Amino acid sequence: MESISSLLQEHRIFNPSKEFSQNANIGSMESYASMRQIANLDPLTHWNEQANKIHWFSKWETILDWKYPHAQWFKEGYTNAAFNCLDIHKNTPTMQKTALLWEREDGLRQSLTYEELHSKVCLLANALKSIGIVKGNVITIYMGMNPEAIIAMLACARIGAVHNVVFGGFSSDALRDRINDSSSVCIITQNATLRRGASIPLLTSVEQAVKECPTVQSIICKDAINIESPLIQDWDTILLNQNDICEAEHLESEHPLFFLYTSGSTGKPKGLVHTTGGYLTHVRYSFEMVFDPKPNDIYFCSADIGWITGHSYVVYGPLMHGMTILIYEGALNHPHPGRIWELIASYGATILYTAPTAIRSFMGVGNHIPEQYALDSLRLLGTVGEPINPEAWMWYHEVIGKSRCPIVDTWWQTETGGIMIAPVPGAVPTKPGTATLPLPGILADVIKKNGESCQENEGGYLTITYPWPGMARTIFGDGERYKSVYWSEFPPNELHQGMYFTGDGARKDEDGYFWIMGRVDDVVNVSGHRLGTAEIESALVSHPAIAEAAVVARPDEIKGNVLIAFVTVIQQKDMDLSTLENELKQHVAKEIGALAKPEEIRFTSSLPKTRSGKIMRRLLRELVSHGTISGDTTTLEDFSALEQLRPDEE
């Protein structure tokens, strides 16, 4: 972890304002510290208490059953996620409150109360039953960011079907692979979603994908037009004759709530399995701790439901707390650069939760843009997805938060289910660039390869040293991979029962604050999206002109990282490299999605390799970051001289 020593130490400290702390759930460092001490000494009692705050049809006997590397939380208990988001508000004023405020890029708006949302979820749940969906079936949801997508997730949860949301920006090939890997029997989609003024035809991608998806028996499509396939049913038509009463299924705590695919260091995405009771407990608790919800909040999280943030902190966390949730379908800077601030001002949003990459791009267009809007409704700001650089943090704090709003930098992962490291805003002082401390009950450490804890400010591997309820239970269909990726780096020994390896590098400062240094594996964060370089490499080599490919990240001011691909070509006569470069970018977009397109493709006659033939990505990373080789993208770079010289390093 070479970058650590070069890091400047950050000394600015921001204490929570008196005003914020006075109204906060946890309003002082003393009460926070005592809660944390109690929870960390006895995490099981802590999680037992937290589990009692969600609704159960019947209670558990065992808090945690841990058989390395598999956890079961509250295993004898029965609960339901949709019930916890909707039915628990029955006979309270929340039922008449707005649950969802939706706006689309073109200005179309809709709002739904909790009662209306409840009724729509029941209609769809009954429709799913009517087409033969039963508990345990997997349903892929491929939609834009709209109320129907949330209704679809909750309808699945209500009847015990497992939802598998695939981000609408993924290509039909990527969709096909995720449908097949998850053995989905049904797909819920919509005709098209809107982004940057363009209509993105989701149904067309689904139709393309299902040609090679033998398990799919039905497709439900919102706004379907010109239906030709007998598989497809129109959303509105199928809901027409349904009853809006649908009992929530009583589900075992460990019943899978959803699968969510994410990238790893091999070419094959991992379908992480999240279950019900523990996940809800962790998400309800962390939402309360980090966002300090208030009844009048208008909560705006800009994440898409295709990502874990959309699951935990657009849908489940906020709905369990009866929040009014603002969702937006489209690009946050379209049709004008101030679109996000316009939304906040017009709805009076009080909490904004977004990604550093978005903040950096808003920062880049100049302060005069946000300054045109009244942002004084905001009281709390959050970030997630990647490390936030202190400059962007300060800008967010001063220009958006007017130095009034605490910033919660939240570290977590698809695998963790919920937030793990973040300040509790009424209590914990913040420093620009650190997610601060693990939430009470979460035990984290920075350790060396040999398993020992690092010294203060010494870089090492971020690990979670004790199970937690929101943790992914396995990788669907691949328990071995789950064990080897996350639990084999630090297997059980006489001191602990196995530690979870996050894949991130970190250091702990003199206050015990965690500074995340980024990934230590071949996973890259581009604009807050997680991509495996191996996935992109395999997409590139599937092009007939490409022999070998190596993809590395280059740091980028706005996106955090961009991808640079080195490729060797299978010689073809009269090949125009700039045409090929464009073709390859399109090819990656087709195989995975536009989000995975390399920024630059460099053609080379060979790739630098170790003696055993491993591509030396470290060398390529140095090259793209420090630019020892310059020139246009069409120059052939010759690594042949290096080829035989390098010992095995990686």
List interacting residues with ligand WT7 (CB under 6 A).
262, 307-309, 384-387, 409-414, 435, 502-504, 516, 519, 525, 530
**Minimal distance in Å, beta carbon 383 to ligand WT7?**
6
- Which CB, 26 or 516, lies closer to ligand WT7? 516
**Minimal distance in Å, beta carbon 355 to ligand WT7?**
8
- Which CB, 292 or 386, lies closer to ligand WT7? 386
CB neighbour list of residue 134: distance below 8 Å, 6 or more residues apart: 159, 160, 161
- Which CB, 186 or 563, lies closer to ligand WT7? 563
Among the residues of 381-478, which ranges form H helices? 390-395
Sheet (strand 600-603) strand order: 546-556, 560-569, 600-603
**Minimal distance in Å, beta carbon 225 to ligand WT7?**
34
**Minimal distance in Å, beta carbon 410 to ligand WT7?**
5
**Minimal distance in Å, beta carbon 217 to ligand WT7?**
30
Contact 248, 82 (CB under 8 A): yes
Q: Which two tokens stand for residue 233?
A: 């049913």
User: Cα angle at 140 between 139 and 145, to 5 degrees?
Assistant: 125
| Residues 621, 622, 623, 627, CA torsion sign | positive
- Which CB, 206 or 424, lies closer to ligand WT7? 424
- CA 191/CA 210 separation, integer angstroms: 15
**Phi, psi torsion values for 386, nearest 5 degrees:** -170, 165
- Which CB, 94 or 414, lies closer to ligand WT7? 414
**Minimal distance in Å, beta carbon 271 to ligand WT7?**
13
**Minimal distance in Å, beta carbon 421 to ligand WT7?**
7
- Which CB, 516 or 562, lies closer to ligand WT7? 516
DSSP assigned state of 517? E
- Which CB, 297 or 386, lies closer to ligand WT7? 386
- Which CB, 361 or 525, lies closer to ligand WT7? 525
Task: Write 15-21 long-range contacts (CB < 8 A, 24+).
Answer: 15/429, 16/406, 16/425, 16/426, 16/427, 16/428, 16/429, 17/404, 17/406, 19/404, 20/379, 20/380, 20/404, 20/405, 20/406, 20/425, 20/426, 21/426, 21/427
DSSP per residue, 59-93: --S-SEEEETTEEEESTT-EE-HHHHHTGGGTTSG
- CA 77/CA 550 separation, integer angstroms: 48
**Phi, psi torsion values for 345, nearest 5 degrees:** -70, -40
- Which CB, 152 or 435, lies closer to ligand WT7? 435
> Which residue type sits at 429?
P
- Return the closest-CA partner of residue 296 out of 22, 573, 97, 509: 97
- Return the closest-CA partner of residue 373 out of 401, 352, 343, 351: 343
**Minimal distance in Å, beta carbon 307 to ligand WT7?**
6
- Which CB, 413 or 568, lies closer to ligand WT7? 413
CB atoms under 10 Å from CB of 179, counted, come to 26
**Minimal distance in Å, beta carbon 643 to ligand WT7?**
32
**Minimal distance in Å, beta carbon 625 to ligand WT7?**
18
- Which CB, 327 or 546, lies closer to ligand WT7? 327
**Minimal distance in Å, beta carbon 570 to ligand WT7?**
34
Q: Which two tokens stand for residue 186?
A: 């049904």
Angle formed by the axes of helices 43-51 and 29-41, nearest 10°: 110
| Residues 2, 5, 6, 7, CA torsion sign | positive
Q: Which two tokens stand for residue 202?
A: 């989701």
Q: Which two tokens stand for residue 490?
A: 């630090």
**Minimal distance in Å, beta carbon 529 to ligand WT7?**
7
- Which CB, 205 or 413, lies closer to ligand WT7? 413
Q: Which two tokens stand for residue 311?
A: 């699951």
- Which CB, 27 or 503, lies closer to ligand WT7? 503
Angle formed by the axes of helices 533-541 and 577-591, nearest 10°: 120
**Minimal distance in Å, beta carbon 36 to ligand WT7?**
19
